[in-house]
Amino acid sequence: MDTIGVLVVDDDFRVAKVHRAYVERVRPFRVVGVAGSGEEAVGAVDELRPDLVLLDLYLPDVFGLDVIPRLRSAGHDCDVMVISAAREADAVRGAVRQGVVDYLLKPFEFADMRARLERYVAQRGRLESAVVRGQADVDRVLAGAAAPAPIAACALPKGMSVETAELVERALRGADGTLSASECAALTGLSRVSARRYLEHFHTTGSAEVSLRYGVAGRPERRYGWRG
């Protein structure tokens, strides 16, 4: 798969460094540059021609969404994913109207970003390989562009994210048998504690079942499997 070049835009260099490290852990992404303001972002896109811009909204010189029209006016067709602490409905609506491919709220874990990037790769592949013979083909492409519905069953407890829950669910569904919390952590990139928390949530809501594996000594290992 071709490399996807990414520009990270955030005025906090420590946050930008973390985001850069996250992105470069996911194939086929590669960070081509970092910008700390809207003006720097426009100049960096001119020079580096990234495929995807990770855009913070609270920039020192402009509101992040104001960068997008400037990029379009300059002829740049790069995709934009908002990564921000902005929770205002107007910001989210404005981002949708500007055509952003995703909107990720800070703070988040690596697994949350990975899920978003992987979804972006899948949609990008669908768009590039799409052959439109009729309405059904158009509907198929547009359906892929829509954000997935939240995890079924019930609302997640405070402090848990839909993206991470989806990641753990995929690991469970794709497992050949059952998974321990350690195995789930290795598959998803989460810490063992975080993986165990989501696994226990799925067990509590009835989405996953638990079995015990007894070893030679010590407490039995809890193993999780997706129901149905």
Total-model pTM: 0.63
For the beta sheet containing 179-180, the strands, ordered from the edge strand earlier in sequence to the opposite edge, are 179-180, 221-226, 208-213
Contact between 79 and 121 under an 8 Å Cβ cutoff? The reply is: no
Task: With cut-offs at 50, 70 and 90, classify the pLDDT of residue 163.
Answer: confident
Average pLDDT of the segment spanning 41-51? 96
Q: Is the pLDDT of residue 147 over 60?
A: no
Rounded Cα gap, residues 51 and 79, in angstroms: 6
Q: Is the pLDDT of residue 142 over 70?
A: no
Question: Is 134 or 2 the better-scoring residue by pLDDT?
Answer: 2
Average pLDDT of the segment spanning 146-158? 53
Tokens representing residue 145 in the block: 């562009």
Query: Judging by beta carbons within 10 Å of its beta carbon (0-12, 13-18, 19+), is residue 75 exposed, middle or buried?
Result: exposed
Contact between 31 and 20 under an 8 Å Cβ cutoff? The reply is: yes
Structural domains in the chain? 4-129 (3.40.50.2300), 162-226 (1.10.10.10)
